[in-house]
Structure 1
Amino acid sequence: MSAPAPSTHIVADQEPVFRLLADPATHGLGEPVARIDTHGAAVFLAGGDVYKVKRAVRFPFMDLSTLDKRHAACMRELEVNRDNAPGLYLGLVPIRREGDGLRLGGADGGAKGDIIIEWAVHMRRFDERATFDRLSPEALTPALMDALARAVFAAHERAARHPEADSPGALAQVVRNIMAGLEEAPDLFAPPRVAALKAALALALDRLAPLLARRARAGEVRRCHGDLHLRNIALINGAPVLFDALEFDEGLATIDRLYDLAFLVMDLGQRGLVAPANQLLNRYLAACSDAPPYDGLAALPLFLALRAGIRAQVTAAALAHRTGTERQTACADAQAYLAYAEGALAAHSPRLIAIGGLSGTGKSTLAANLAPFVGPLPGAVHLRSDVERKRLAGVGELERLPGAAYTREATEAVYAALRERAAAVLAAGHGVVVDAVHQREDERAAVEQVARAAGVPFTGLWLDAPLEALTTRVEARQGDASDATAAVVAQQAARDCGPIGWARLSTAVGPDEVVARARQIIEI
């Protein structure tokens, strides 16, 4: 398949500016200056400094065609990134015409006759290999996904609410922009596929419009990051730092917070990182504590499809700055984003999976490994009794609770809360995995009733393991929400579980084999 022709969106020649910034002498350096090009900016990495110049472009979704617009966008970039990345953004630097040449910076006002012809955002350089798109899959651990989810949640908590926002109308414009971009590249994006995606997005948006409007009125539409993909997050001093927030259009950044999160979830999933994508969603919902936005899960397939469509459009738009193998890779990426958008909108029936067994049988491990494969994307919500108990007690997940928190009454409250949350997730059309001991027959019957009431399929899995193995596992736990001890396991083992009608799995085999057998039972 041939690639589209070079971009016609460039409205001015900025090459003299780019040559200036790419010249080591401009920065007093002896080593080369690295350059990164995107559809909307050229970024120059010079020693310990970074200079970012907005491109003179006009797209359906972004207009930086004049110096005044680029200057305003630069100023807004400094403002919108101040809270999330306070140590990275240093200021704004002019690029002046000085006689027959150009000069970076200089005193305010410059020499007589100097003309400012461009502006650059000045940043402190960090290790560019530490952006999340360049981290190895092995580095994207559950702990790091938890830290990332909490960073995003904190940013959303700081963000201004906009209950007056017309969320359905704004997303309808996003759809129009995406379609305009995709339709510009018929050699890259087959017109019948683009037409089918357009129709599917329109149907989803029409169906979800009342929900989107309600969420806006409830304060779920906020001034978010707006461009929250993996390349715009860096691991600095061991912590995720969100940077390069969308600055050129307030409307595109004033969005439902789950639409903001969806960019990251999509970016992980599209790269085949299904477990981190699922973990990110679950840890974000956990960070929300008493008020997770479960109703918004109904709109998540639409949000994911839109984010993938945007990346397809933007990747195609940047082909003008790609050559050779890099260009071929970008074409393949653009088509992969389109495929992800199609997959996100595919029909998936929700289901409830409950996992029971004594402490130490590996319920949480199995649940976490099953959740990414229970549709719709990016997999099921994982509800865990140990985490729910800590939430109800008002303590952190890793804080140990006293025995009083494990009374029969307290446990009944935990299970009731799990069922209530599972019902809310299912009502939004999303899958759920409930992970708890479920030792009593009435507890198992009650969670099955949640599925019946929702009219969704139910699968119960009961995990078995020798008592000695359970004792060894709980005593070896570190950094986990469970407070179970060897004594707790012994008490559980002494109780009668009654007849167990759930599918039974021995965890005496390896964890991979347990997951494989469970997936075979569930047929996922």
Structure 2
Amino acid sequence: MSWVFLTDTRVYKLKKPVRHAFLDFSTIAKRRFFCGEELRLNRRLAAKTYRQVTPLCRNASGGFVLGGEGRAIDWLVEMNRLPQTDMLDERIRTDNVTKHEIGKVAELLADFYSKLEPEITNGDVYLRQLVKEQRINRAILLRHEFGLVDIASDTLDMVDNLLQRSRPWIEARVASGAIVEGHGDLRPEHVCLAEPPQIIDCLEFNRSMRIVDPYDEINCLGMECDILGMPWIRPRLNHALDNRFPYRPDTGLLALYGGYRALLRARLCIAHLLERPVRHAGKWRPLAIRYIQQAERECLSSRSPGDRILKNVSGGA
């Protein structure tokens, strides 16, 4: 969806003139607007990284220049370049993450979520988004050309069942103000263990994808850390939320969140095989299978999936 240009100290992100069901960058005006949204949203968690929206101009001699005088023909987001060696996924791979560093990330996120306005009026967007995306998960993962039917069918059924049983409790969380406008794409590769921590690449192009339960989003980040080999990170992230919010989801609802997110990641992996040309063709199916297997583990993490979804939510049983 974007081209990213790197210098020694800066990053410039130029949005491609594309339109999909979930985003529209088809005009210069829309690309300028979403550059502004990317700057605004990401400054919430990475103020030291996101600098400005910069015009790409054509000057009098017909050349191109960033900023300066001339006719603006497009717009870019300008950022400070973060050290790749300090990104969380890279630190996990090199076994170089401390409890203190994760504690600072957890506190940053907990403070962020606790200050957001509840999405009570628009909170039902969250449930509709879960249902819609799970339907797409099923449609993509069960396409016969991917050879995942035998691998994915039972897990898709488990997530469907958990989602159906969890609807009343998700609705109760919406009514109690637990749903907020969060990050939308919280993954280890978007977390920099700098001083202070910087959390980048908030999903700017579709607000409905940012309407989340904080426990869903932070649990997903923890799950990705599990997959990379550091399972101790997830409980520390969740515990930071426990200190700010009056109640947390039961293991059943967390099982739904984890299973759903893992299947979504599996789908996004396998969808690369629908691109033309396909890049890194041998990578995507094994990675999708890994996420499907993780989704099964997430679903089975509750002893009675769907029966003990949420005990202490307002209006719950």
TM-score interval, normalised by the smaller of the two chains: 0.7 to 0.9
Q: Write out per-residue CA displacement over residues 10-30 of structure 1, whole angstroms, 9 at most, x where no aligned residue.
A: xxxxxxxxxxxxxxxxxxxxx
**Identity over the aligned pairs, expressed in percent?**
24
Q: Does the CA contact (< 8 Å) of 1:145 and 1:283 recur in 2?
A: no
Question: What is the alpha-carbon distance in structure 2 between the residues aligned to residue 106 and residue 220 of structure 1?
Answer: 42
**TM, length-normalised to structure 2:** 0.83
Establish whether residue 175 from structure 1 lines up as the match of residue 134 from structure 2. yes
Say which structure, 1 or 2, has more relative contact order (CA 8 Å, 6+ apart).
2
Work out whether residues 95 and 102 of structure 1, in 8 Å CA contact, stay in contact via their aligned partners in 2. no
Partner of 1:145: 102
Task: For residue 146 of structure 2, give the secondary structure of its aligned residue in structure 1.
Answer: coil
Residue in 1 aligned with 2:297?
343
194 and 428 in structure 1: CA distance in 2 versus 1, 3 angstrom threshold: closer
Preserved contact between residue 315 and residue 334 of structure 1 (Cα < 8 Å):
yes
- Tell me which residue corresponds to 2:270: 316
- State how far apart, in whole Å, the 1-side matches of 2:7 and 2:106 are: 31
Displacement after TM superposition at 1:246 (Å):
1.1
CA-based RMSD of the aligned residues comes to 3.0
The residue number in structure 2 matching 1:275 is 232
Change in 2 beyond 3 A, CA 1:327/1:96: farther
Written as runs of structure 1 = structure 2, the 5 A alignment for 1:103-182 is 103-107=64-68, 110=70, 114=71, 116=73, 118-136=74-92, 138-164=95-121, 165-166=123-124, 167-182=126-141
Gap change, CA 1:309 and 1:427, over 3 Å in 2: closer
CA distance in 2: counterparts of 1:100 and 1:191, whole angstroms: 58
How many angstroms apart in 2 are the aligned matches of 1:328 and 1:312?
14
Is the alpha carbon distance of 1:48 and 1:321 closer, same or farther for their aligned partners in structure 2, counting shifts above 3 Å?
farther
Compared CA separation, residues 174 and 64, structure 1 to 2 (3 A):
farther
Cα offsets for 1:157-213 (capped at 9, x unmatched): 122211121032231122234334435x64435134444444332221110011101
Cα distance between partner residues in 2 of 1:338 and 1:201: 11
Could you say what secondary structure the match of 1:295 adopts?
A: coil
Aligned to 1:414: none
Aligned to 1:453: none
What is residue 484 of structure 1 aligned with on the other side? none
> What is the SS of the residue equivalent to 2:68?
coil
- Give the match for residue 95 of structure 1: 56
Who is 1:248 aligned against?
A: 205
The 2-side partners of 1:55 and 1:316 are apart by 22
Partner of 1:85: 46
Residues of 2 paired with 1:228 and 1:169: CA distance?
A: 20
Distance of 2:193 and 2:277 partners within structure 1: 27
Give the 5 Å matches for 1:289-438.
Answer: 291-318=245-272, 320=275, 326-346=280-300, 348-349=302-303, 428=309
CA drift at 1:256? 1.0
SS in 1 for 2:193: strand
> Structure 2: which 5+ runs fail to align?
312-317
Aligned letter for 2:290? A
CA contact (8 A) 1:89 1:122 kept: yes
Q: How far 1:73 sits from its partner (Å)?
A: 2.1
CA distance 1:120–1:141, change in 2 (3 Å):
same
Residues 69 and 277 (structure 1 numbering): CA distance in 2 closer, same or farther, change over 3 Å?
same
Matched, 1:219 2:180: no
Aligned residue in 2 for 1:28: none
Corresponding position of 1:5: none
SS in 2 for 1:248: coil
Secondary structure of the residue that 1:119 maps to in structure 2? strand
C-alpha offsets along residues 328-367 of structure 1, whole Å, 9 cap, x if unaligned? 33442232112212221236427xxxxxxxxxxxxxxxxx
* Compared CA separation, residues 51 and 333, structure 1 to 2 (3 A): same
Partner of 1:48 in structure 2?
9
Secondary structure of the residue aligned to 1:53 is: strand
Contact 1:62 1:249 in 2 (8 A): yes
Contact 2:169–2:309 (CA<8 Å) still a contact in 1?
no
CA-to-partner distance for each residue in 1:401-436, whole Å, 9 max, x for gaps? Answer: xxxxxxxxxxxxxxxxxxxxxxxxx95579xxxxxx
- Report SS of the residue matched to 2:45: coil
CA distance in 2: counterparts of 1:99 and 1:313, whole angstroms? 47
Q: 1:66 to 1:307 in 2, by over 3 A?
A: farther
Query: 1:257 aligned to 2:236?
Result: no
Q: Shift in Å at residue 63 of structure 1? A: 4.1
Q: Which has the larger radius of gyration?
A: 1
C-alpha separation between the residues in 2 aligned to 1:99 and 1:182? Answer: 52
Query: How many residues end up aligned between the 2 structures?
Result: 306
C-alpha spacing 1:173/1:98, structure 2 compared with 1 (3 Å)? farther
- 2:167 equivalent among 209, 213, 225: 209
Deviations 1:256-294 (A, max 9, x none): 111111220121122232222233323442x32xx4432
Q: Does the 8 A contact of 2:181 with 2:212 survive in 1? A: yes
